[in-house]
Chain A
Amino acid sequence: MDHAQLARASFIVIPLILLALLIIPGRRAVRLPLAIIAGVVVAFGLGAMMATGNFTYMISFSTMAMIYAILSLGLNSQWGLSGHVNFGVAGFFAVGAFTSALVTTTMPTGALAAYSQQAFGLGQPFLVGVLAAGIVSAIVGYLVSIPVLRLRTDFLAIATLGIAEIIRLIFQNERWLANGPQPLRGIPQPLGCLFDDPACSWLPAPVAAFLQPLGPRDYIFFYFLLVAIILAVIYVALERISRSPWGRVQRAVRDEENSAAMSGKPVTFFRIQSFVVGSFIMGVGGAIYAHYVVSIDYSHFNPLFATFIVWVMLMLGGSGNNKGAILGPFVVWAVWTGTQSVVDLMAPVLSLISPDLPSRSAYFRWMLVAILLAAIVLYRPEGIIRERKRVSDFMKRTGKD
């Protein structure tokens, strides 16, 4: 393993330790040392065995999967915890992404201003952007939830689908807000200077020397670390929440709305709270996505698609279970990216059927994900990992009337 690869591998030690903590059962005293050993061994093992290209590919794949995992956790805190059917994930995702972009970029000046417009550009640091994204998304969620959460589940599904569509229409048509139909570019990458030459001036010399062989193309390794930490924070917070008295109330509201109401709990208020928490998390996910892809436009937030794939991920992983909400995105994203190559391999065969077909082959993957969702709904609606404690038979309507 050369110096550069060693430096790359060092970035994935902490994410792997976090992963190990998630997987290894047992008491904390045993888990922590085990996890640290596993993290270090696997990280440097991977670094030693994998070629740089594959290594980078694996990490960028995992970064995207983790961004989806954040969305999936956000959705889980609405659906799994409280039973809200939010078919508008894409809307909150978009609000978060554009908010963070507007907060962290600076107003375009000079020649740039002629073809790039935005309402404001505050030039704030990354974390401020992420926080702002969560807050604005939570505010949107709050405003949405006031009229909508009193409604039946089916009306909520329709209403959220509509809200996501309208949010997308706004970002598509309002040039002044975030450059309208044109992409909003130049979203800063946090601590991008780590990989510049020379590196950030404040960096201690040994660290700078350690990172010296890495270039901007290796930035993904740092971002991977950053996303992993944010994901871990969200996961731990949600686990705490769902075990707290508040979480129990949420489940009670979900499963037996009437009896919770009868025991004197303000049901609507509780329902709004969990919806707002989920919106916040989705907003954070949007921010992290924006800083990852650096340039965003409305088409990234196609309501059906950005919403739909997150639902597939959560349903597959297991609704109501935060571990499942993280596992699902990895599986589905692997299927999604993996099938690209299958479809590419099929191209010669497809062109025999119709000359147009290879250029449309991307839609085979849509079809595949649609079939995957249908299969989950039909054959395993509880997902890979069941909700730990099934307070009631929520997924199935009981036969008794």
Chain B
Amino acid sequence: MGDSMPLLKVDSVSAGYGDSEILRGVSIEVGKSEIVSIIGPNGAGKSTLMKTIFGLLHPRQGSIHFGDTDISRHTPYQIVGLGMCYVPQVANVFTDLTVEENLEMGAFLLKGGNMEERKERIYELFPRLKERRRQRAGKMSGGERQMVAMGSALMLDPTLVMMDEPSAGLSPKMVEMIFERIAHINRDGGPAILIVEQNAQLSLQMAHRGYVLASGENRFEGTGQDLLNDPEVGRLYLGG
């Protein structure tokens, strides 16, 4: 954990839909430029946690701070304005819009300014997108869509990017490439990254720290390496 105050601080948050409570007092922290991975079995509440942080769902209890702002009652577009972006797991591109328009929508809050420059930077990160920038995103492969989704989320130069299962449904080669890009983005004081993954092995290897979430609570936390080596975590969640 960093020395100073954390970038994101989720403090004993409970949340859910209707009568069902999915998160039961989850606490996590993400420091500046840190990669934090959250792993856990299906139904542990990983996606719900992301949605709650991002204001798509409001916590019933607990607080969420981003920098020194309490964002537990913020709407998503206010949160984006503060410098947090989110890559959902599914339906994460505008299928009817071109690649270029998708990127522009990522920087919707940016009025005027250096739109072209920012797009160019994303194209450098994902050269494939530049080739296909006039294509409708709906006609692209799963890996390409993931690039569009990540690219859109990076358009505003966020300080924190949240990714929900970026490897879901991709070929091993594509997964490797996506994870390599994530590490690349994060290098040299880049944005902090909070990542939720089924592919626990891979994401813990890359992460600075990790949390294990089960039944809406955090079960374990530690550095990525510690969690990988923890025999109980291994037995329960890493299939080893």
Chain A: residues with CB nearer than 8 A to chain B?
393, 398-400
- Chain B, interface SS category: loop
Chain B: residues with CB nearer than 8 A to chain A?
17-18, 57
Which residues of the other chain, A, contact B17 by a CB distance below 8 angstroms?
A: 398-400
Complex formed: what's the CA distance from A361 to B215 in Å? 62
A-B contact pairs, 8 of them (CB 8 A): A393-B18, A398-B17, A398-B18, A399-B17, A399-B18, A399-B57, A400-B17, A400-B18
- Chain A, interface SS category: loop
Which residues of the other chain, B, contact A393 by a CB distance below 8 angstroms?
A: 18
Complex formed: what's the CA distance from A398 to B16 in Å? 12
**Which chain B residue shows the least CB distance to A400?**
B17
Complex formed: what's the CA distance from A151 to B65 in Å? 46
**Which chain A residue shows the least CB distance to B57?**
A399
Complex formed: what's the CA distance from A399 to B15 in Å? 12
Complex formed: what's the CA distance from A399 to B17 in Å? 6
Beyond A393-B18, A398-B17, 6 additional contacts (C-beta under 8 Å) are A398-B18, A399-B17, A399-B18, A399-B57, A400-B17, A400-B18
Which residues of the other chain, A, contact B18 by a CB distance below 8 angstroms?
A: 393, 398-400
Complex formed: what's the CA distance from A400 to B57 in Å? 10
Which residues of the other chain, B, contact A400 by a CB distance below 8 angstroms?
A: 17-18
Complex formed: what's the CA distance from A275 to B57 in Å? 38
Which residues of the other chain, B, contact A398 by a CB distance below 8 angstroms?
A: 17-18
Complex formed: what's the CA distance from A393 to B17 in Å? 13
**Which chain A residue shows the least CB distance to B90?**
A401
**Which chain A residue shows the least CB distance to B91?**
A401
Complex formed: what's the CA distance from A393 to B57 in Å? 19
Q: Which 5 A-B pairs have the closest CB atoms?
A: A400-B17, A399-B17, A398-B18, A398-B17, A399-B18
Complex formed: what's the CA distance from A400 to B45 in Å? 12
Distance (Å) between the CB of A249 and the closest chain B CB?
A: 26
Complex formed: what's the CA distance from A200 to B229 in Å? 99
**Which chain A residue shows the least CB distance to B20?**
A400
Complex formed: what's the CA distance from A99 to B158 in Å? 69
Distance (Å) between the CB of B164 and the closest chain A CB?
A: 12
Which residues of the other chain, B, contact A399 by a CB distance below 8 angstroms?
A: 17-18, 57
Distance (Å) between the CB of A401 and the closest chain B CB?
A: 9
**Which chain A residue shows the least CB distance to B51?**
A401
Most buried by B among A393, A398, A399: A399
Complex formed: what's the CA distance from A393 to B18 in Å? 10
Distance (Å) between the CB of A140 and the closest chain B CB?
A: 39
Complex formed: what's the CA distance from A398 to B18 in Å? 8
Complex formed: what's the CA distance from A398 to B57 in Å? 13
Which residues of the other chain, A, contact B57 by a CB distance below 8 angstroms?
A: 399
Distance (Å) between the CB of B55 and the closest chain A CB?
A: 14
Distance (Å) between the CB of B23 and the closest chain A CB?
A: 13
Complex formed: what's the CA distance from A399 to B22 in Å? 13
Complex formed: what's the CA distance from A304 to B227 in Å? 66
Complex formed: what's the CA distance from A400 to B47 in Å? 11
Complex formed: what's the CA distance from A238 to B230 in Å? 63
**Which chain B residue shows the least CB distance to A399?**
B17
Distance (Å) between the CB of B20 and the closest chain A CB?
A: 8
Complex formed: what's the CA distance from A349 to B18 in Å? 50
Complex formed: what's the CA distance from A393 to B20 in Å? 14
**Which chain B residue shows the least CB distance to A393?**
B18
Distance (Å) between the CB of A78 and the closest chain B CB?
A: 28
Complex formed: what's the CA distance from A398 to B20 in Å? 12
Distance (Å) between the CB of A179 and the closest chain B CB?
A: 52
Distance (Å) between the CB of A396 and the closest chain B CB?
A: 9
Distance (Å) between the CB of A80 and the closest chain B CB?
A: 22
Distance (Å) between the CB of A325 and the closest chain B CB?
A: 27
Complex formed: what's the CA distance from A400 to B17 in Å? 6
